[in-house]
Chains A and B, each alone.
Chain A
Amino acid sequence: MNVLDRRDFLRRSAFASAAAAAASMVPTVAFAEEWLGRDQQEPEWRKAPCRFCGTGCGLLIGISEGRAVGVRGDPDSPVNRGLCCVKGYHSVQALYGSDRIRNAMVRRNGQLVEVPIEEALDVIAERLQGTIDEHGKDAVAIYGSGQWTIPDGYAALKLFKGGIGTNNVEANARLCMASAVTGFMTSFGLDEPMGCYEDIDHADVFVLWGNNMAEMHPILFSRMLERRRTDPNVRIIDLATRTTRTSYASDRSVLFEPQTDLALANAICHELVRSEWVNEDFIRDHVAFKSGKTDIGYGLEERFSFADEAHDADWEEYVEFLDDYAPDDVAALTRVPADEIRYLASIYGDPAKKVVSFWCMGVNQHSRGTWMNNQRVWDGPGSRNAHARTPARCGDERVSPGARCRDLAGTRGADSRSPDLRHRSDVPSDGPW
């Protein structure tokens, strides 16, 4: 039998990616795996997380003679259930790219030269120590990514927050999810959306907020389509600023003007309140109303800053605030017909329907991302039926347990507002320090 060589590996990968793309177009399509070849030695399959996006898929990596030669979706993974998208199939190619750095390198006399890793680590330690001695501990930082694994993030926080004592750790969370963190913290007191992937299997309606899942998160998109295939009553509604492949797969495509999704969300809230489709018990028992600035200008100018002036408010004040967002008025701003807005509100307000809202960077990364994430209280317990889930929090499954900027290692909260630094007493002496 022949061991899989590189050329065979690329051939298989090309077929696998085409098969994955075909499956994202027609989820039921099936191909005989004749292209795998019958005279190949089966590689050893080992489990690994896919590191390309934050969905959290499990992969099986085929190893032959110490090289990764194949990729499959892990059928035992509760996230992708054996599915794999184009990004996952391509993931191991990065290991063998011709431009991949394979050795530690240090710049000397303007030239990068290869050095033993021990020597490179000594250089880093020396530079860090020198910088700290001269300028203080906050003069150093570590910049990682959402592709860090949980142990990567844990080790980074252990070294920089626990050891050096600086908060200068960035692993994508501030860039990618800052508005979501702030929105969730101020709405729920926790940096997590409610809901989980299992909600997909029970939902009656999916509402996608500026989220092109077909191309960005095809595994969850496939799970959503599979849910609709097994229940013809399931509906997918795509809210977007442009028509995408996701729009074509949806049952209803609603286009809105860029930067108007917050008005659209407020108009839905207006309709929920006007129609009395509100979970009154939850509002009464669990919601504290606050009012802050509503006009902060564009908000993304160079050196922009503002000091909010939040004060206690009540339900009546909130209802009055929503007066500006009657569907007919918002229709002119968003170009979404008022009837569409009322239809969306009726979806969220129907207690007989289980609704899942998906959103991602379309909501998060614009000038009102935090306020949009504040609205998630309505997607969830504030209305009567819904759950919300961001499909890919850019490394969430790894960043959250390991490297959120406001946490100590091991997801131990570091509350800088706590004068007695109680969070430090939560850290066991034999723990992450």
Chain B
Amino acid sequence: MPVCGYVVVPEPGESEPLARRLGEEEGCEVVTAQNDDMLLLVTMSDSLDEDAALRRRVEALPGIQALLMTFGEIDHLSPVGDPLARDRRRSR
């Protein structure tokens, strides 16, 4: 179950719209910097194929200047499912 972390550097003026676009992608969670144009992105998916497809969708989004992977873990121990959907349910 791949879990990946990225630093996302938006193109000038694209920080907020890019954060919105990324947040709308299933399996993506985004945190924006409080004082700079920089985003943190974590992706969680159920298989390597899904992870690759998600990565392709993210890379195709407009407004990305650089996408830097900082973390990658293929988690074989956690149960399969949409963890972000689970997190969203929990936070409500």
Contacts and interface: CB of A to CB of B under 8 A. Distances in A.
Interface of A: 2, 5-7, 10-11, 13-22, 25-26, 28-32, 34-35, 37-39, 86, 89-90, 93, 96, 98
B71 A90 contact: yes
Given A7-B1, A14-B42, A17-B71, 14 more contacts: A2-B90, A7-B44, A11-B87, A13-B73, A21-B7, A22-B7, A22-B33, A26-B36, A28-B36, A29-B33, A30-B36, A31-B32, A32-B34, A86-B70
B35 A30 contact: yes
B14 interface: no
A14 B33 contact: no
16 contacts: A7-B83, A11-B3, A11-B29, A11-B44, A11-B87, A13-B3, A13-B71, A17-B71, A18-B5, A18-B71, A22-B38, A28-B35, A30-B34, A31-B32, A34-B31, A35-B40
Nearest to B34: A30
Contacts of B1: 7
Interface residues of B, number: 30
A15 B32 CA distance: 11
A188 B86 CA distance: 61
The SS class assigned to the B binding surface is: strand
Contact of A29 (B3, B5, B36, B91): B36
Nearest to B73: A10
Given A28-B35, A31-B31, A93 B90 contact: no
What are the 7 tightest A-B residue pairs by CB atom distance, in nearest-first order? A14-B5, A17-B71, A18-B5, A21-B70, A7-B78, A14-B71, A18-B40
A110 B28 CA distance: 47
Interface in B1-47: 1, 3-7, 29, 31-36, 38, 40-42, 44
B73 A37 contact: no
B33 A30 contact: yes
Given A11-B3, A39-B90, A20 B31 contact: no
B60 interface: no
A18 B78 contact: no
Contacts of A6: 75, 77-78
Contacts of A89: 71
A22 B40 contact: yes
Interface of B: 1, 3-7, 29, 31-36, 38, 40-42, 44, 68, 70-71, 73, 75-78, 83, 87, 90-91
A20 B36 CA distance: 15
Contacts of A21: 7, 68, 70
A289 B32 CA distance: 59
A11 B83 contact: yes
A35 B29 contact: yes
B21 to A, nearest CB: 18
B88 to A, nearest CB: 11
A19 B71 CA distance: 11
B10 to A, nearest CB: 12
A10 B75 CA distance: 8
Nearest to B43: A14
Nearest to B84: A11
Given A14-B42, A18-B5, A18-B41, A29 B71 contact: no
Contacts of A20: 70
A10 B43 CA distance: 11
A93 B6 CA distance: 18
Contacts of B6: 18
A259 B31 CA distance: 45
Nearest to A13: B71
A358 to B, nearest CB: 24
Contacts of B73: 10, 13-14, 93
Contacts of B76: 98
A311 B39 CA distance: 62
Contacts of A93: 73
A31 B3 CA distance: 20
Contact of A14 (B4, B34, B38, B91): B4
Nearest to A29: B36
A90 B73 CA distance: 10
Given A6-B78, A10-B75, A93-B73, A17 B31 contact: no
A37 B3 CA distance: 17
Contacts of A96: 77
